[in-house]
Structure 1
Amino acid sequence: MSTSVTTATAPPAAEPSIGGPPAGRRAPAPRGGRRRRILLRLLALAVLYALWEVAARVTRNPTFIPPPSAVWHQLVETSSTHDGRRGYSGHLLIEHLGVSLRRILVGSAIGIGAGLVLGVVMGSVAWIRVVVEPVVTFIRALPPLAYFSLFIIWFGIDETPKIWLLSIAAMPPVAVAAAAAVYSAPTALVEAARALGAGRRQVIRDVVLPSALPEIFTGIRLAVGVAYSSVVAAETINGVPGIGGMIRDAQRYSQTDVVVLGLFAIGLSGLLIDALLRTAENRLIPWRGRA
């Protein structure tokens, strides 16, 4: 009696489609999706502009809600020389913004560098984390103006207290993010590297830091945002030229349109810098978001 034997064969592996994205890399967004997002954002801006115009017409109080035309007029006035007056307080708008961006850049760089070193140490050495973590949390909870007065007493009213303020404000987000990322590094990869003979520094450099970079970049973006939100506080004293100093000076004279213009300048430049950070993140961490 003969028995028929059927052998199960594994299905052939699916071949990658021609022209498709390589394995492990996200497919680029279709052009239709990008156009839809752009149109939605333009529509949202148009709606916000219309609401702003309606609110200004209803209140009829330019000191409370200045109309868009008034803010545009101040943009032209502060960006040029009219009737012998150059910009605002003798400086053009781009000069005010440039001084503030320089302060933010220097302060953020110092704070990010200190936070990165502190976070790696906190995430790598348990007893240092136990000692230092409450201090970092305490500093993060303090509003910038709380210790800015102390810096003025120590360093005067020149650039030094402003840089110190922005540095201290930018340090905690990076330190917390780096410490959490380093502490939660993949245990299997760390043990495998040690089994292959890697020392402590090599493990941190080749295993821990690459796995922690995505979260560290998130902390860097948060730190730059905190520095931006602190620039007005940093420029409350002797802040002209500076966009925050311009806002504070305009507030004293109830120039709401200048205040709104300064807020737009800070916000738009912040969006630009955040976009640059996103681009750098995508270039330096291509493995982020892979399946």
Structure 2
Amino acid sequence: MSTPAHAPPAGGVAAPREPRRSRPPARLRKILLPVLSLVVFLVVWQIVAATGVWNETFVPYPSTVWDAFVAVSTTQDGTRGYQGYLLWEHLYMTLRRVLAGVVLGVAVGVVVGLAMGTVPWVRRVLEPWLTFLRALPPLAYFFLLVIWLGIDEAPKITLLALAAFPPAAVATTAAVAAAPVGLVEAARALGAKPGQVIRDVIVPAALPETFTGIRLAVGIAYSSVVAAELFNGIPGIGGMVKDASNYNNTPVVLVGIAAIGISGLVIDGLLQAAERRAVPWRGRA
């Protein structure tokens, strides 16, 4: 009879096991991988800039961009930031506009999506208009908003709201339409009124996809910031980027792009954390 693979050898002394290679904890790996990718990106950027294939006006050194970051973040030789505003002031104004536009667009989008998902004739009436608006790039109607609303804050916030509205409405509509029919019918059979069915069954079932739509809405609104701040956009990151591009000031443009991207990552992380708190059942039910 053959000896089992796990049985100790003759003599009763087990062979020493090879030491297991230790792996960094999962949380540490989550931090190390992004940091490693950033280091690789900076090294490649430095090499490309050093080759001189492109003029430094188009591809500045990372150190030049860092100097621009310091310049727009501080007061140097009597010059305060960029166009009289520090970087955080530009970012604050942009975030304020994005917040106002996203809150307005998402609020209307969720309400419209809920109506479209629960009332068939509302969906038939509004869906073509929603598709039409989704297909329009922000610049296509921004100049019309400027004609109607002027060049102050109103056209900027309206543009961001119109950019955030379609993804929130579409995601909510699809989520409501996909609510479990069995649960809806069971609630009705137990005597729940239409309002109770929507509040206790449809809305909780739709929340996960609605949060996805909100994240998409924030991303699309953020991508429209430069367009929203084309006119009278300073202070504002988009206005700073637009103004710097007029003078081929690539380092400042890259600083603005980095500020938009990093703040966007932070906001998306906060939305994911809020989603985990508000929808703990996602992926489990």
TM-score, shorter chain, exceeding 0.5: yes
1:38 CA drift (Å)? 1.9
Residue identity matched to 1:190: V
**TM-superposition CA deviations, 1:67-94 (whole Å, max 9, x none):** 1101100111111111111000000000
Equivalent position to 1:102, from 92, 96, 99: 96
Q: 1:23 aligns to what? A: none
Q: What TM-score do you get using the length of structure 1 for normalisation?
A: 0.88
Q: Distance in 2 between matches of 1:36 and 1:271?
A: 18
Equivalent position to 2:25, from 19, 32, 37: 32
1:261 CA drift (Å)? 0.4
Q: 1:155 aligns to what? A: 149
Instruction: Identify if the C-alpha distance between structure 1 residues 31 and 218 changes in structure 2 by more than 3 Å, giving closer, same or farther.
Output: farther
Give yes or no for the alignment of 1:187 onto 2:187: no
Number of aligned residues? 262
Q: Distance in 1 between matches of 2:34 and 2:224?
A: 28
Tell me the SS of whatever aligns to 2:25: helix
Q: Distance in 1 between matches of 2:61 and 2:276?
A: 39
Q: Distance in 1 between matches of 2:74 and 2:39?
A: 27
Q: 2:197 aligns to what? A: 203
Q: Distance in 2 between matches of 1:181 and 1:200?
A: 17
Give the stretch that moved more between structures: 200-209 or 36-45: 36-45
Tell me the SS of whatever aligns to 1:286: coil
Q: Distance in 1 between matches of 2:33 and 2:235?
A: 37
Equivalent position to 1:239, from 233, 238, 252: 233
Give yes or no for the alignment of 1:132 onto 2:126: yes
Residue identity matched to 1:166: L
1:182 CA drift (Å)? 0.4
Q: Distance in 2 between matches of 1:290 and 1:56?
A: 49
1:31 CA drift (Å)? 7.1
**TM-superposition CA deviations, 1:258-287 (whole Å, max 9, x none):** 000000000000000000000000001010
Equivalent position to 1:55, from 38, 42, 48: 48
Residue identity matched to 1:36: R
Tell me the SS of whatever aligns to 1:198: coil
**TM-superposition CA deviations, 1:212-270 (whole Å, max 9, x none):** 00000000000000010000000001100100000000000000000000000000000
Instruction: Identify if the C-alpha distance between structure 1 residues 88 and 39 changes in structure 2 by more than 3 Å, giving closer, same or farther.
Output: same
Give yes or no for the alignment of 1:146 onto 2:143: no
Q: Distance in 1 between matches of 2:201 and 2:30?
A: 37
Give yes or no for the alignment of 1:43 onto 2:8: no
Identity of aligned residues (%): 60
Q: Distance in 1 between matches of 2:35 and 2:269?
A: 18
Q: 1:84 aligns to what? A: 78
Q: 1:227 aligns to what? A: 221
Tell me the SS of whatever aligns to 1:258: helix
Q: Distance in 1 between matches of 2:260 and 2:100?
A: 16
Q: Distance in 1 between matches of 2:64 and 2:128?
A: 47
Q: 5+ residue gaps in structure 1?
A: 1-29
Tell me the SS of whatever aligns to 1:222: helix
Q: What RMSD, in angstroms, separates the aligned Cα atoms of the two structures?
A: 1.1
Equivalent position to 2:284, from 279, 284, 290: 290
Tell me the SS of whatever aligns to 1:62: coil
Instruction: Identify if the C-alpha distance between structure 1 residues 168 and 209 changes in structure 2 by more than 3 Å, giving closer, same or farther.
Output: same
Q: 5+ residue gaps in structure 2?
A: 1-22
**TM-superposition CA deviations, 1:129-185 (whole Å, max 9, x none):** 011011111101100000101100101101000010000000000000000000111
Q: Distance in 2 between matches of 1:183 and 1:241?
A: 42
Q: Distance in 2 between matches of 1:157 and 1:84?
A: 30
Tell me the SS of whatever aligns to 2:151: coil
1:37 CA drift (Å)? 2.5
Tell me the SS of whatever aligns to 2:172: helix
Residue identity matched to 1:55: V
